[in-house]
Amino acid sequence: MPVNTFEEKDYSREGSTGKIFLRILKFMKPHWGWMALFLIAVILTSVIDAYLTYLSKRIIDEGIVVGNIPVLLNIIYQYGALVVFEAFTVFTFIYMVGFVGEKVRYDLRQKMFNHLQSLSLSYYNQTPVGWIMSRVTNDTERVAELETWGLLDSTWGVINIATSMYFMFRINSRLAWIVAAILPILLFVGIKFQTRILKQYRIVRKINSQITASYNENITGVRVIKALGRENENLREFSEESGSMYNASYRAAWISALFLPTVQLISSLALGGIIWYSGAQAQIGGISVGGMQAFLSYITSMMWPIQDLARVIAEMQRAIASAERIFTLIDTTPDVRDRPEAYDPGSIRGNIEFEKVSFWYESNTPVIKELSFMVHHGETIALVGSTGGGKTTIVNLICRFFEPKRGRILIDGKDYTDYSLSSIQSRIGVVLQTPHLFSGTIKENIAYGRLDATDQDIEAAARLTGAHDFIVKMEHGYDEQVGEGGVLLSVGQKQLISLARAVLSDPEIFIMDEATSSVDTLTEAALQHGIESIMQGRTTFIIAHRLSTIKNSDRIFVIENGQISEMGNHNELIKKKGKYYSLYTQQFRQEQEKKYNLLYQD
C-alpha cells in the first residue's frame, strides 16, 4: 500500500479552543426557538428538583418533628404537583434534545456536502477520500452529540449546582461556604485534564482519518490487490496504523478515566468533612434535623452534575478535535471560483483561443508553457503526444477545472473568467478514459446531466451512440441496475452509457479524453460511430491513444513538454515525417504485427 503523503494541519498551534467551541454553538442559531424551549425545560427541571429537596426539609421540620398534620399534608400536595410537572419538563427536554440533534446533524452534513460540490479539482487531488469521509460521518456525529446531549448535561449540571448552592445558603451559610470553596479546586483540575485529553484526541482523529483512507483505497483497489497478492502486506501496514490508533485511543481513554475518579475523590473528601462539621453544628443547634438531611441531599445531588461536567469536558475535547477538522473543510476556499461580475452568456459557439497560457500544479514546474492556439466553431482538434506532455491539462483548462497561472483563455472572444463557472461547464460534454457511473439504473445515469429528459430523449441519445442495442437485451432494459461505479457492466458498456449521457446534455463543446483506449476493437467501432454523430456542428477536442481514430480530425496538435511541437491534419503531418509520423508508423506497425500474429514469434 503506497504511503499517503497527505499532511494534515497541526491544530495544536491554533491557540484557544474557545473560538472553536463558539463556532460549534453557531450551528444552533437557526434552531434558537427550539433551543430556548429546551433550555427552559432543563432549567425548570433542575429548579424543581432542588426545590423538592427543600420541601423534604420542611416535611421533616415543619410537619413530622412538630406533628403538624395540616402543614404536612399541604407540603405533600405541593410535592406531588411538582413531581407531575417535573415529569412533563423531563419529557420536553429529552424530546427537544433528540429533535434538535437531528437538525444539527442534517445542517452539518448539508453544509459540508454543498461546500464539497463547490471545491476545485485541486482539492480532491490533494485530499484523500477517506479524510473527507471521516469528516462527514464520524466528526459530524461527535459535534452533534456535544451540541445536544453535551449541552443538556452541562446545562443541567450548572443549574443544579447553582440551585443547590442557593438552598444550601438558605439552610446554613457556613456549610455552604465550605462547599463553595471546593468548586474552584474542581475547576482547576478540569482545566488541567482538558489540555491533556484534547492533545490525545487530536492524535486519535488524525490517525482515524488515515485508517478511513486505507479502507477506501483497499476496497476500491481490491482487484489490483488480489491480482498482485498484496493481501498480507496490506494487512501488515493496516495493522501498524490500527496499532497507532489503539495506542493513542488508550492514552486518551486512560486520561479521561483518571479524570472522573479524581473529581469523585475530591468530592468525597469534601463530603466527609461537611458531614463531620454538620454533625457538630446539629449538636449545638446550628442546623435542624431536616436541614441537615436536606443539606446532605444537596451535596449528594451535586456529585452527579459535577461528574457529568467532568465527563462532558472529556467529551468536549473529543468533539473539538472533530470540529477543528470539520471547519478546516468548510473554510477551504475553491481555487477556481466566479468573479463578482461573472455572468451567463446564454450560449457558447465554441471559438476557443489560448493566449500565452502557462500552468503548473503544486510545484513551480510548468506543465503548460506559453501555449497559444485558436480553435474555430465546429472544428475537431486531436491532441496527441507522449504521457505527461500536458494533453489532459489542456482540456482541464478548457473545462475550467483549473485556471491558467499566466496568460488567458478566450471563449467566443472573451476571457472565460468573465463567464460563470456553471455557464461554461454546463455547455461542455466530457467523456473520460475511465467512465464513471453512479449507483442506480441505466436510465438514471444517462439522464444524470439533464434531469428533465423524457424516456424518448434518453432512448434517442442511446440510439445515437449505439448503446440502445445492448441495453434492450438486458432483463430490465433501461431500468437495469448498474451497481456502484457501474461494476455490473463491462468497460465498453459503461463507456457507451457515458457517451449517451454526454449526448443528452447537448453540449456546445465536446471533449473526449482517451475514451476508446480501454475498449476492444468492436466496441471502439461502435463508439466511433456515436462520436462522429456527436461531433457534427460542435467544437471537439479528442485525446487519443489509438491514432487511427483521429485521422479525420480537422487538425492534430502534437503536444510535447507543454507546447505544440507540430500542428496540421493527418496527411500534412505524415508528409512532414516528424514526431506524429514516428508515432503513427510505430503504432501502425504494432497493429499489423498483432493482426498477422507476428509479434513475439520465433
3-class SS string, 39-70? HHHHHHHHHHHHHHHHHHHHHHHHHHCCCCHH
Q: What kind and span of H or E run contains 567? A: strand 563-568
Tell me the pLDDT of the chain averaged across its residues. Answer: 80
Residue type at 252? A
Degrees, nearest 5: CA angle 555-560-563: 75
Could you tell me the pLDDT band of residue 599, with boundaries at 50, 70 and 90? very low
Per the model's pLDDT, the better-predicted residue between 307 and 160 turns out to be: 160
Lowest mean pLDDT among 85-99, 266-280, 484-498: 266-280
- Residue 207 covered by a domain: yes
Q: Is 582 helix (H, G, I), strand (E, B) or coil?
A: helix
CB atoms within 10 A of CB 29: 9
pLDDT, one tens digit per residue, over 75-88 is 888 888 989 998 99
Instruction: Please give the share of the chain, as a percent, with pLDDT higher than 70.
Output: 82
Which range (43-47, 142-146, 439-443, 446-450) has the least confidence?
142-146
Can you tell me which residue has the cell 445558603? 169
Interstrand relation of 539-543 and 380-384 (parallel, antiparallel or unpaired): parallel
Q: Which pLDDT band holds residue 374 (cuts at 50, 70, 90)?
A: very high
The answer to whether position 351 is within a domain reads: no
Q: In what order do the strands lie in the sheet with 428-431?
A: 428-431, 509-513, 539-543, 380-384, 555-560, 563-568
What's the number of domains the chain is made of? 1
Does residue 67 lie in a domain region? Answer: yes
Higher-confidence position of 467 and 293: 467
* pLDDT score at 3: 44
Domain range for 246 is: 17-331
179 vs 183: CA distance, rounded Å? 7
Answering whether pTM is above 0.75, one says no
167 inside domain: yes
Burial of 178 (0-12, 13-18, 19+ CB in 10 A): middle
Q: Could you tell me the CATH number of the domain that includes residue 268? A: 1.20.1560.10
Q: Does the pLDDT value for residue 577 go beyond 60? A: yes
Q: pLDDT (tens digit, 9 = 90+) per residue, 506-552?
A: 888 988 887 666 556 666 666 666 677 777 788 999 887 777 678 88
599 located within any domain: no
Q: For 190-246, write each residue's pLDDT tens digit.
A: 667 766 776 777 677 677 767 776 766 776 666 666 665 677 777 777 787 777 777
pLDDT band (50, 70, 90) for residue 443? very high
Domain assignment present for 230? yes
Q: What is the pLDDT of residue 478?
A: 92
Q: What does R_g of the chain's alpha carbons equal in angstroms?
A: 35
User: For residues 602 and 593, which has the higher predicted lDDT (pLDDT)?
Assistant: 593
pLDDT reading at 594 higher than 70: no
- Do 510 and 502 touch, CB atoms closer than 8 A? yes
